[in-house]
Structure 1
């Protein structure tokens, strides 16, 4: 059960994600916030996973850095994130930005070493592998899902 402060942070993260991704759509042509980010966030079993679920693409798919995203989150909150939460979120969000890794393999290997980033990436991959949301999946979609399945299997191994 989430406390009021945790609920508030999750709600602020959702509002921020909605604001930052306004006008973006996913591969199915659905609003990115309601279609993808909300689905990934709701898969989170902790409030931290829910927050990172909402914000996992913010520094990757918008002009904002991880630091800017967290500063914007602080602005939405009535109080600042604790230093430990901010550090945990910074690390996870940096790991989840594939632009900050030299290649896809390194990106996935780095994510595996961080429990929060790993959990959110597995939720992200789960949603991305669901081809039932695409009206007419192409061969490219099936190839991408094959890669995602391999990454998911790698992340799920102990």
Structure 2
């Protein structure tokens, strides 16, 4: 059971993300905030083997922080919010802000470099796995196009890369 302090931190992160994403919509034309909520739920209640195994690498505090990062994982990349906004203005834990920043892919950044960077931070790695898991779910889309299938394959390869060291030697042909 979560403590009041843990619940308040998750609530704060949700409110920050909901405000930051505002009326943004995703590829399925759903309110964008539903995506971070789903990613957070994969971490809070892991039901598939990838998430169950990944969550075991985190201690209790890291699991709490991973839920927070899941809610915030796109705010630095996709909204005007910055690392300093999260750390200084919202007074979020540094570990949460650091992982959220790591998850923010720099425009033009090579996938290999990005995923290698994520592997160095347990929290960011677990959140990215949950993010990729949700993003690869084609059942959310009304119609499935060829580019959706290609994107899903790319996400599944990235999941394997993050989930099991050495399973895929590199991200060539992504």
Separation (CA, whole Å) in 2 of partners of 1:24 and 1:70: 23
- The number of aligned residues is 147
Contact 2:66 2:96 in 1 (8 A): no
More helix by share: 1
Distance 2:109 2:15 in 1: 31
Contact 2:118 2:125 in 1 (8 A): yes
Note if 1:73 corresponds to 2:57. Answer: no
Task: Supply the distance in 2 between the matched residues of 1:57 and 1:146 (Cα, whole angstroms).
Answer: 21
Query: Residues of 2 paired with 1:69 and 1:136: CA distance?
Result: 37
Structure 1 counterpart of 2:80: 63
What is the aligned counterpart of 1:92 among 99, 114, 118?
A: 99
Show the counterpart of 2:9: 9
1:149 is the counterpart of 2:156: yes
Listed as ranges, the gaps of 5+ residues in structure 1 are 75-80
3-state SS in 2 of match to 1:120: helix
Q: Which of structure 1's runs of 4+ aligned residues deviate more than 2 A? A: 69-74
Residues 21-69 of structure 1: per-residue CA shift (max 9 Å, x gap): 01100100000002x0110111124221110000000000002212213
Deviation, 1:70, is 3.3
Conservation of the 8 A alpha-carbon contact between 2:25 and 2:31: yes
Normalising to structure 2: TM-score of the pair? 0.79
Give the CA RMSD over aligned residues: 1.5
Structure 2: gaps (5+ residues): 45-62, 166-174
